[in-house]
């Protein structure tokens, strides 16, 4: 029986050596997904499509035409990534039954690299949340403790990787939705530089913050998937023209001489001491590997959440206006007039958190309030960017905790939006500044994973991956495996 926790690098080598076929891996992944259905990581599995893709991959390989290390590797996609012919619901009733007629750019690039799409994963409705509890189809559970949240909003993708169903998945970020759950489930989660990956085919939450992010068990797999999907796209005006380096090339270069900044605002009040200790272990590991630790300050970062909760809902209120029951998706029954059609379709289709954010966003953009909220938040956003710029004149990367603490119990913060929002306190500033950030596993606190976040200069994902690779060697997290009930021997 194959070890379900093999990472992308190991699977790629098995495939290359002919020791496993993509059909083997895909079948095993499908079985495991079924066996672990209680985690509710997936909203839709596509067994037929996946097995067809796997068979095609195997045929390519047998002809010597394998497309690269990802060819034949099963992956999972967050269900806000548009997939041709596969349902894409954003975990919302308002998109129930919608079958997109096109693939998003990242999805088609991943398919072009040969990856096998296993299915679509659960999320907070429209990616609005930090726990994957706000899904219209029920919450995803943390593989480490099914009584706890996996984090969110990419909780389904992260849980699928953490539980050993797939070695790789795509999530999306707006304020920490990949890094935060990755930390809480003990895997790697990357938020690339804004513009690094095309947003075409990512259902918009907050356009100026959204970015697709890969989730992986190993750094090498992360480098491969980023290389496969990054780069300019004529379908996204905000995709960056910057060239895509070979991210896997410099992973062994080490961190000697690297200056690592520790922003003191990220180690202040509100941080769980045990989590802090784990992050300090990571800092020490870097120092032991030859890096220099530098104390830095990002004075505006504490305002990040506040600015974020103005800008993101503002953009969301506009982005979600298209869900009106006219062109696609369900429509309210027997509308008496046009207003009734709009109001009932939207009121029945959206969940509470989405409605809350639409109302908040509509308010902060409305006449008389835009200046106090939206424009001020944009100014804070620029101040946060300036802070990072200043810090990066002194250091190469920043190291912070990813979250204030480990995963919280399901339901604990459901009634308190503000408490929920604060679980992204260390991640949102990175989105506001458009910088790349990665969460690497930092060990366990009371049996639950926590993460350390590395933040880099714009378009320096390669540096982040190099540091992550050094940490992977220094404090291997391959042995960090949840004891997933019911998931033992399916593969």
Partner 1 sequence: MSAVEYEVVIGLEVHAQLLTESKAFCACANRYGDPPNTHVCPVCLGLPGSLPVLNAGAVERAVRAALAFGCEVHRESVFARKNYFYPDLPKGYQISQYERPLATGGAVPIEVQGEVRAVRLTRIHMEEDAGKNLHGADGLSRVDFNRAGTPLVEIVSEPDMRSAEEAMAYLRSLRQVLRWLDVCDGNMEEGSLRCDINVSIRPRGESRLGTRAEVKNVNSIRFVGKTIQFEVERQAALLARGEGVRQETRTFDSAKGETVFMRAKEKADDYRYFPEPDLPPLRLEEAFVGRVAETVRELPLAMARRLQEELGLSPYDAGVLTAERDVAAFFSAAVQAAGPARAKKVANWMMGEVLRRLNEEGRPLSEAKMTPPLLAELVVLADGGQVTGPAAKRVFDEVWKGGERPEAVLDRLGLRPVSDDAAIDAAIRAAFARHPEELARLRGGEEKLLGFFMGQAMRETRGKGDPKTLNARIRALLAGD
Partner 2 sequence: MTSPRLGADDVREIARLARLDLSDQEIAGFTERLASVLDYVSQIERAEVGAAAGPPEGQPRPWRPDAAVNPQGFDVADRLLAAAPARDGDLVVVPRVLDAE
CA of 403: how far to CAs of 62, 298, 406, in Å?
Answer: 45, 17, 7
Q: Does 203 bind partner 1 (CB under 8 A)?
A: yes
Q: Which residues bind partner 2 (CB under 8 A)?
A: 98-99, 101-102, 195, 208, 234, 237-238, 240-241, 300, 303, 305-307, 309-310, 317, 321, 324-331, 335-344, 346-347, 350, 352, 355-356, 358-360, 362-363, 366, 369, 372-373, 375-383, 385, 417-418, 421, 434
DSSP state of 375: I
Taking the least distance from each CB to partner 1, the nearer of 241 and 415 is: 241
| Binder among 66, 76, 95, 163 for partner 1 (CB under 8 A) | 95
Catalytic (active site) residue 153: yes
SS (HEC) of 345-367: HHHHHCCHHHHHHHHHHHHHHCC
* 352 contact, one of partner 2, partner 1, none, CB 5-8 Å limit per kind: partner 2
* 367 contact, one of partner 2, partner 1, none, CB 5-8 Å limit per kind: partner 1
Pick the catalytic residue from 177, 198, 200, 429: 177
Contacts (Cβ under 8 Å, ≥6 apart) of 21: 15, 54, 58, 61, 72
User: Which phi and psi (to 5°) does residue 310 adopt?
Assistant: -105, -50
User: Which phi and psi (to 5°) does residue 293 adopt?
Assistant: -95, 135
> Which parts of 257-276 interact with partner 1 (CB under 8 A)?
none
Taking the least distance from each CB to partner 1, the nearer of 105 and 146 is: 105
The answer to whether the peptide bond before residue 69 is cis (omega within 30 degrees of 0) is: no
Taking the least distance from each CB to partner 2, the nearer of 37 and 347 is: 347
Token pair of 376 as six digits: 């001020």
| Binder among 27, 47, 93, 236 for partner 1 (CB under 8 A) | 236
Q: Does 235 bind partner 1 (CB under 8 A)?
A: yes
> Which parts of 160-199 interact with partner 1 (CB under 8 A)?
199
Q: Does 372 bind partner 1 (CB under 8 A)?
A: no
CA 289, CA 283: separation in Å to the nearest integer?
10
Region of 8-16, 44-52, 173-181, 322-330 interacting with partner 1 (CB under 8 A): 322-330
CA 37, CA 44: separation in Å to the nearest integer?
11
* 240 contact, one of partner 2, partner 1, none, CB 5-8 Å limit per kind: partner 2
Pick the catalytic residue from 57, 78, 131, 191: 78
Taking the least distance from each CB to partner 1, the nearer of 211 and 463 is: 211
CA of 345: how far to CAs of 331, 353, 357, 360, 483, in Å?
Answer: 5, 16, 17, 19, 42
Bridge partners for 441 per DSSP: 451
Q: Does 381 bind partner 1 (CB under 8 A)?
A: no
Q: What share of the chain is helix, strand, coil (3-state, %, to 5)?
A: 40, 15, 45
β-bridge pairing 74-78 and 116-121: parallel
Contact by Cβ (8 Å): 404, 270: yes
Name the 3-class secondary structure at 224: helix
Q: Does 128 bind partner 1 (CB under 8 A)?
A: no
| Binder among 90, 225, 230, 398 for partner 1 (CB under 8 A) | 90
Catalytic (active site) residue 78: yes
Taking the least distance from each CB to partner 1, the nearer of 98 and 267 is: 98
Taking the least distance from each CB to partner 1, the nearer of 249 and 338 is: 338
Q: Does 281 bind partner 1 (CB under 8 A)?
A: no
Beta carbon of residue 362, minimum distance to partner 2 (angstroms, whole number): 5
Q: Does 370 bind partner 1 (CB under 8 A)?
A: yes
CA 349, CA 344: separation in Å to the nearest integer?
8
* 144 contact, one of partner 1, partner 2, none, CB 5-8 Å limit per kind: none
CA 154, CA 205: separation in Å to the nearest integer?
13
Taking the least distance from each CB to partner 2, the nearer of 235 and 249 is: 235
Active site (catalytic) residues: 78, 153, 177
């Amino acid at each position: 029986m194959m070890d379900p926790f093999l990472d992308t690098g190991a699977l790629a080598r098995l495939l290359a050596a002919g020791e496993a076929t993509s059909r083997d891996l895909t079948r095993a992944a499908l079985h495991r997904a079924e066996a672990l259905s209680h985690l509710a990581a997936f909203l839709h599995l596509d067994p037929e499509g996946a097995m067809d893709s796997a068979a095609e991959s195997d045929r390519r390989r047998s002809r010597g035409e394998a497309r690269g290390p990802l060819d034949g590797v099963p992956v999972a996609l967050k269900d806000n990534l548009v997939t041709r012919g596969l349902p894409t619901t954003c975990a919302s009733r308002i998109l129930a039954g919608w079958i997109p007629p096109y693939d998003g750019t990242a999805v088609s690039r991943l398919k072009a690299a040969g990856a096998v799409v296993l299915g679509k994963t659960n999320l907070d409705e429209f990616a609005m949340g930090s726990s994957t509890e706000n899904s219209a189809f029920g919450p995803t559970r943390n593989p480490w403790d099914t009584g706890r949240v996996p984090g969110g909003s990419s909780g389904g993708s992260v849980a699928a990787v953490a539980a050993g169903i797939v070695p790789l998945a795509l999530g999306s970020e707006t304020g920490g939705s990949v890094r935060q759950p990755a930390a809480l489930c003990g895997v790697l989660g990357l938020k690339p530089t804004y513009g690094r990956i095309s947003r075409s085919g990512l259902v918009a939450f907050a356009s100026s913050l959204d970015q697709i992010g890969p989730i992986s068990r190993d750094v090498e797999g992360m480098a491969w998937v980023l290389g496969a999907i990054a780069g300019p796209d004529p379908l996204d005006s905000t995709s960056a023209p910057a060239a895509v380096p070979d991210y896997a090339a410099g992973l062994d270069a080490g961190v000697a001489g690297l200056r690592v900044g520790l922003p003191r605002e990220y180690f202040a009040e509100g941080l769980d001491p045990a989590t802090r200790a784990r992050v300090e272990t990571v800092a020490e590991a870097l120092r032991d590997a030859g890096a220099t630790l530098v104390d830095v300050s990002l004075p505006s970062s504490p305002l990040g959440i506040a600015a974020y909760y103005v800008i993101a809902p503002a953009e969301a209120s506009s982005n979600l206006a298209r869900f009106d029951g006219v062109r696609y998706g369900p429509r309210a029954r027997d509308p008496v007039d046009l207003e009734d059609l709009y109001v009932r379709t939207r009121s029945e289709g959206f969940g509470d958190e989405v409605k809350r954010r639409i109302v908040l966003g509509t308010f902060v953009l409305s006449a008389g309030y835009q200046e106090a909220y939206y424009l001020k938040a944009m100014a804070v956003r620029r101040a946060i960017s300036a802070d990072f710029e200043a810090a990066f004149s002194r250091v190469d990367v920043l190291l912070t905790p990813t979250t204030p603490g480990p995963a919280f119990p399901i339901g604990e913060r459901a009634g308190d939006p503000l408490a929920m929002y604060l679980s992204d306190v260390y991640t949102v500033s990175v989105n506001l500044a458009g910088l790349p950030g990665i969460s690497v596993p930092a060990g366990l606190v009371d049996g639950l994973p926590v993460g350390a976040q590395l933040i880099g200069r714009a378009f320096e994902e390669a540096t982040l991956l190099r540091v992550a690779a050094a940490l992977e060697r220094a404090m291997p997290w391959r042995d960090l495996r949840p004891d997933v009930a019911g998931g033992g021997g399916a593969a």
